[in-house]
Chain A
Amino acid sequence: MDDPKVNLKSGSNLEKVLKAGHFAFTGECGPPKGANIEHLREKFHHLKGVVDAVNVTDNQTAVVRLSSWAASAIMVQEGVEPNFQMVCRDRNRLAMQSDILGVYTLGIRNMLCLSGDHQKFGNHPQAKNVYDIDSMQLIALAKKMRDEGKFFNDDPIDVPPKLFIGAASNPFAEPHAFRIHRLAKKIAAGADFIQTQCIYNMERFREFMHQAVDMGLTEKCFILAGVTPMKSVGMANYMAKQVPGMDVPDSLIKRLKGVEKSKVAEEGIRFCLEQIEEFKSMKGVAGVHLMAIEWEHRVPEIAERAGLLPRPVVE
């Protein structure tokens, strides 16, 4: 890995924490379906000082929400580091470059590049999608703007945006054998860090990380393991059956079913804590990304119990 002091690419807190060799911890916060920034503030304040950066989702599940750049900018104002998400569904290459410059000027330093859920899932299925470029090409674009100081078309940029570039990886989607290669492509394109899809099948994830280490990928990029605590048996069943690319083993569903209804959420958190404990010592895993969907208020407790507090401060 690069020398942390000399080679900071963006200077984001997340980058500093990772490059200093700490086990990183990131959270997530979905902007509101409206301009209710009080609600947004309330949600992300639970995460302040508890995580190293907060992912700000970009019209996730193709449902219109407050823009991810505006929500990220509000976080910056309030001293919480955002990880600004950008999807390829809603913007062409002009809008993407413009927004990359825009978020940088607003103090945003992390960006996660995603394809985006298809609009068919959302509340505007009649929309025309863009997909001018894909997530792989978006990673390469953000890197080119940062490292070469050039736009897509090679024109020079007057003050390039220095962002810490993230990407997603789903070890559980099919075809399985190709997933590690797709991860390698994202890293070759310029991803500095990876946040994985929610992990439930630990066996499969161990195998995936083993491959990543063998291929030298973890030497080039920080991999954060994605977790989402199960709140109920219904949620587990839904994730298992309805969410494409999600791998929820029967053993986990059985485990949740095996406790009293009032204790299922606690059991879900326990499983999550066991996962985090294993990730701490799993070769190649640089941190955890906790997607506590609408459960931001439980994150401090989870962080505490997982032994992830206090968060490191790296100058």
Chain B
Amino acid sequence: MIVADRKSIQEILDMVKTCSKILVVGCKGCVTVCNVGGLKEVQILAATLKIARKKDGRPLQVDEALLERQCDPEYVAMLKDTVYDYEAVISMACGVGPQFLSEAYPDQRFYPAVNTTFFGGAVAHGIWEERCAGCGTCIIHYFDGLCPIARCSKSLLNGPCGGSDHGKCEISKEVECIWDKIVRKKMEQGRLNDLLDVVPAKNWQTARDGGPRRSRREELIQHG
């Protein structure tokens, strides 16, 4: 899923400092799963903003809404009757949400309440970790299901570099060296030969080149 962290209350207060009536919109997708932008978090943010502004002597009306997904025009359309009743709208979805909202309602101002961080999952209760860099050409099967693009701090395809130390990356003792893990797994399973050839340079055209990437499924596109 897409993982995000909520911005600080101060940053969000600054975004809407001139407003007196705003809407906070959550999303039932990824940000609900990673506990940052679902119903509960919408309620908490709305209450916190109201309290802060009340304390400041400038009360703020904060209404709440929750969409099935903010990355789908079908659900974004559900705001059409109310979206212009506010001076601004805060989206608690990933970075896709406020953009879909902005595109659907060009005369409204939308602010992101979260910093979208990575594609990953929960490794422990309350802890999420990156697993995928969305490079557009998956190669994890060559590395026993462990992605060096997303998980090596230098995205090496021929690691581990000389900074690998006790299974940790040179950048921090908190960061595991994924190449150490790849090599050990190959050795344990008697498949070290897989790592003996030089892996050629990656074609990054599917990653971040050429503007926003697009997926087309011909069978789903409604022609005419």
Residues of A within 8 A of B (CB): 88-89, 93, 115-118, 120-121, 129, 131-137, 140-141, 152, 168-170, 173-175, 177-178, 181-182, 184-185, 188-189, 197, 244-245
Contacts and interface: CB of A to CB of B under 8 A. Distances in A.
Contacts of B166: 174
Contacts of B167: 174
B156 A134 contact: yes
Contacts, number: 102
Nearest to A181: B196
A37 to B, nearest CB: 30
A185 B183 CA distance: 14
B185 to A, nearest CB: 11
B158 A185 contact: yes
B201 interface: yes
A245 B158 contact: no
A170 B158 contact: no
B85 interface: no
Contacts of B171: 118, 120-121
A89 B164 contact: no
Contact of B165 (A89, A93, A169, A244): A244
B107 to A, nearest CB: 35
Contacts of B164: 173-175, 244-245
Q: Which 6 A-B pairs have the closest CB atoms?
A: A170-B162, A136-B158, A244-B170, A244-B165, A244-B163, A137-B201
B184 to A, nearest CB: 6
B158 A137 contact: yes
Q: Tell me whether chain B's interface is mostly helix, strand or loop, or mixed.
A: loop
Interface string B37-70: 0000000000000000000000000000000000
26 contacts: A115-B154, A117-B163, A117-B170, A118-B154, A118-B163, A120-B171, A121-B170, A121-B171, A134-B159, A135-B161, A141-B201, A170-B162, A173-B162, A173-B163, A174-B165, A174-B167, A175-B164, A175-B183, A178-B183, A178-B187, A182-B160, A185-B158, A188-B198, A197-B162, A244-B163, A245-B170
A189 B170 contact: no
Given A115-B161, A173-B165, A245-B165, A133 B201 contact: yes
B162 A245 contact: yes
A137 B198 contact: yes
A141 B158 CA distance: 14
Given A120-B171, A133-B201, A152-B201, A245 B196 contact: no
A260 B187 CA distance: 47
A116 B162 CA distance: 10
